[in-house]
Structure formats: C-alpha cells, structure tokens
C-alpha cells in the first residue's frame, strides 16, 4: 500500500525538479544586451568652413570675356571674367587729361609766384635803402600773396583731379572679376555677350581650397552625450564607396533648430537638432565630396572637453 502511494509522489517530485532545472537552463541561456560602442549617432554632410563662394560681377555690363571653365583650379587674384571696358577706359583717359591740366596750371602758378616773391623782396630792400618807394614794394608783396592763393587753389584742383583719376581706375578694375581665394570653379553661370550685374546672381560658384569638415545634426536627446574633442567615425551614407574615416568634434552649437538633413517632412518639422562640427583626423580621399551625406558615430567612453 505504502509503495503504491510513494510512486506518484516520487513522480511528481521528479517532474517538479526537472521543470526547475529546465527553467534555470532557459534563464541562464538568456544574455544581457550588449552595451553600444557609440555614445550617439547623427546624420551629417561633408562641407567646408563658410561653404561654397557665389561670385557675382562687381558692376553692371556686358560680359566681354571669360577666362576660366568649370573644373579649373584658380589662384587668388586670377582673372575669371571681364565686362566691356570701353566706357571705363574713356573715363580714365579723361581723368588723366584733367589731372595733367591741373598739375600744369599749378606748376605755372608756382613759377609766377616765385618770380613775384623775388621782385617783392628786391623792392622792399630798395625801399629800405632809399632807392625805391614803399608803395611799389607793397604792391609787389600783395601780388605775391594773390599768386600764393591761386597756387593753393590750383594744387587743390590737382589733388582733386588725382582722386578722380584714382576713382576712374578703380571703376575700370571693377569691370573684372578676380578669384578671392585659391579654389576650383564648380559652376559657371554666365556667357560672353550676356548682361551681368551684382543683382543678377552668381556668375561663378567657387569651391575654396580649404580643409573638409563634417556638419552633423545632433538630436536633442544626444546633445549631452557629445563633447568637444570627442572621437567619432564618419561613415558613408550615399553609396559612393568612401571608406570609414576618423574625426573629432571641433564645436557644438548652442541653438536648436529644425533638421535640414531629414527627408521626411513630418519628422523634419518635429525634430530639434543642434549643429555639431567635426574635423577629419586625416585628409579625406577625393571621393569625399562637398554635400555628401554621412553618418557620424560618436565613440562611447571618449573623454573630450565639455562644450560650453
């Protein structure tokens, strides 16, 4: 009788022990989620400080000559394009003639004044010696003073003519568009014979020869996780085949704004981001182009100086 009762109890105990051991095995097989190697991830794009330069013609006029083409590398001060210069050249020629005339008049008056001054001195000396009258000496001195006034006025006119000539030459120089910095012509937007003006928009788009940077958009939830000097990995997000590149944080913005890199307009309107600028540790390859989309992975555990 007792052996019959013991058997079911033993079976139940065995099953309970087996169930416990099974649960323990199942629990032990579950692993804790691995810690992420990144403190934050952000969208970004490759850029340069200040962006591309849009160059307009300094003055209104007809494009006479274009010296460069798209893809050309240019040096600072290199001539890019010229407007029709005939009106400006005529203005320079006229100003040069006016300056020469004013200088000649001043030179003539200077010679007359020197002669009048010498005559006045002789007459004054003669009057003191009793060999001449004082009135003649006074008249000669007055004539010398009048010539001195005319000479002063003539010299002022000569200086004004010189300034006018400088202005005419400056306006002539403004008929030419020069490269402000070393760089590459990305786009040419004018043709010979076309009318150009500063208000008409860019004539050329220039890519300055400056180091590449990354402008990333930090989501507001990641702002405190990123600091100046933090290391990061820049990953191609456009399919260009660019290898992963190392970079570090230069600065973090202090103003929140809407995302400019988010494609979904609804998400873009409701996402607040802060600009984060990074510098590459090594010059990026030629495949890294301005405006290229990238992902920026900020390394976890990096000790950078905290942003203000």
Indicate left, alpha or beta for 127 from its phi (over 0: left) and psi (-120 to 50: alpha).
alpha
pLDDT given at position 15: 42
With contact defined as beta carbons under 8 Å apart, do 89 and 65 qualify? no
Both tokens assigned to 280 = 């590459």
207-252 pLDDT, tens digit per residue, is: 999 999 999 999 988 899 999 999 999 999 877 778 999 999 999 9
pLDDT class for 94, splitting at 50, 70, 90? Answer: very high
240-294 pLDDT, tens digit per residue, is: 778 999 999 999 999 998 888 887 777 777 788 999 999 999 999 888 899 999 9
pLDDT class for 21, splitting at 50, 70, 90? Answer: very low
Among 14-18, 19-23, 158-162, which range has the highest average pLDDT?
158-162
Sign (positive or negative) of CA dihedral 247, 253, 257, 260? negative
Task: Name which of 235, 179, 188 is nearest 209 in CA terms.
Answer: 179
Where do the structural domains in the chain lie, given as residue ranges?
A: 39-49+209-299, 57-83+176-201, 86-173
pLDDT class for 132, splitting at 50, 70, 90? Answer: confident
Class of domain 57-83+176-201: mainly beta
pLDDT given at position 152: 92
User: Across the chain, what does the average pLDDT equal?
Assistant: 85
Tell me whether strands 73-74 and 183-188 are parallel, antiparallel or unpaired: antiparallel
Both tokens assigned to 51 = 């962006």
Reduced 3-state DSSP string for the chain:
CHHHHHHHHHHHHHHHHHHHHHHHHHHHHCCCCCCCCEEEEEEEEEEECCCCEEECCCCCEEEEEECCCCCCEECCCCEEEEECCHHHHHHHHHHHHHHHHHHHHHHHHHHHHHHHHHHHHHHHHHHHHCCCCHHHHHHHHHHHHHHHHHHHHHHHHHHHHHHHHHHHHHHHHCCEEECCCCEEEEEECCCCCCEECHHHCCCEEEEECCCEEEEEEEECCCHHHCCECCEEEEEECCCCCCCCEEEEEEEEEEEEEECCCCCCHHHHHHCEEEEEEEEECCCCCCCCCCCCEEEEEEECCCCCECCC
Task: Name which of 248, 239, 233 is nearest 287 in CA terms.
Answer: 239
Residue matched to tokens 């006018």: 164
Q: Do domains 39-49+209-299 and 57-83+176-201 have the same CATH topology?
A: no
Q: What angle do CA 196, 200, 202 make, to 5 degrees?
A: 90
Both tokens assigned to 273 = 């981001």
Residue matched to tokens 């160059």: 55
Q: Say what the pTM is.
A: 0.70
pLDDT greater than 50 at residue 141: yes
Query: Residues for the chain: how many in total?
Result: 308
The angle that helices 86-129 and 134-173 make with each other, rounded to 10 degrees, is 160
Q: Greater confidence, 146 or 185?
A: 185
pLDDT given at position 33: 52
32-66 pLDDT, tens digit per residue, is: 455 578 899 999 999 999 899 999 999 999 999 99
Cα distance between residue 219 and residue 44, in whole Å: 11
Task: Name which of 185, 211, 205 is nearest 48 in CA terms.
Answer: 211
CATH superfamily ID and name for 39-49+209-299? Efflux pump adaptor protein, beta barrel domain (2.40.30.170)
With contact defined as beta carbons under 8 Å apart, do 68 and 207 qualify? no
């Amino acid at each position: 009788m007792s052996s019959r009762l013991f058997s079911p109890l033993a079976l139940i105990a065995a099953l309970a022990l087996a169930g416990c051991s099974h649960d323990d095995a199942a629990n032990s097989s579950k692993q804790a989620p691995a810690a992420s190697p990144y403190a934050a991830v952000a969208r970004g794009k490759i850029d340069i400080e200040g962006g591309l330069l849009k160059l307009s013609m300094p003055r209104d006029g007809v494009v006479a000559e274009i010296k460069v083409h798209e893809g050309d590398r240019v040096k600072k001060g290199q001539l890019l394009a010229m407007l029709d210069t005939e009106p400006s050249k005529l203005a320079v020629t006229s100003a040069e003639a006016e300056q020469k005339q004013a200088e000649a008049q001043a030179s003539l008056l200077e010679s007359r004044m020197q002669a009048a001054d010498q005559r006045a001195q002789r007459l004054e000396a003669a009057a003191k010696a009793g060999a001449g009258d004082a009135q003649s000496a006074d008249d000669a001195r007055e004539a010398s003073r009048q010539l001195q006034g005319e000479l002063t006025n003539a010299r002022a006119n000569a200086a004004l003519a010189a300034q006018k000539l400088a202005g005419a030459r400056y306006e002539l120089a403004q008929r030419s568009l020069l490269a402000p910095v070393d760089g590459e012509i990305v786009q040419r937007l004018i043709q010979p014979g076309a009318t150009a003006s500063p208000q008409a928009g860019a004539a050329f788009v220039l890519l300055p020869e400056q180091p590449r940077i990354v402008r990333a958009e930090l989501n507001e939830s990641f702002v405190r996780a990123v600091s100046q000097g933090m290391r990061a990995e820049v990953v191609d997000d456009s399919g260009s085949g660019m290898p992963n590149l190392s970079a570090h944080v230069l600065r973090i913005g202090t103003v929140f704004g809407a995302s400019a890199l988010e494609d979904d307009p609804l998400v873009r309107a409701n996402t607040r981001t802060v600009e984060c600028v990074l510098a590459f540790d090594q010059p990026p390859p030629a495949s890294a182009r301005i405006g290229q989309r990238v992902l920026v992975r900020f390394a976890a555990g990096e000790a950078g100086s905290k942003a203000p």
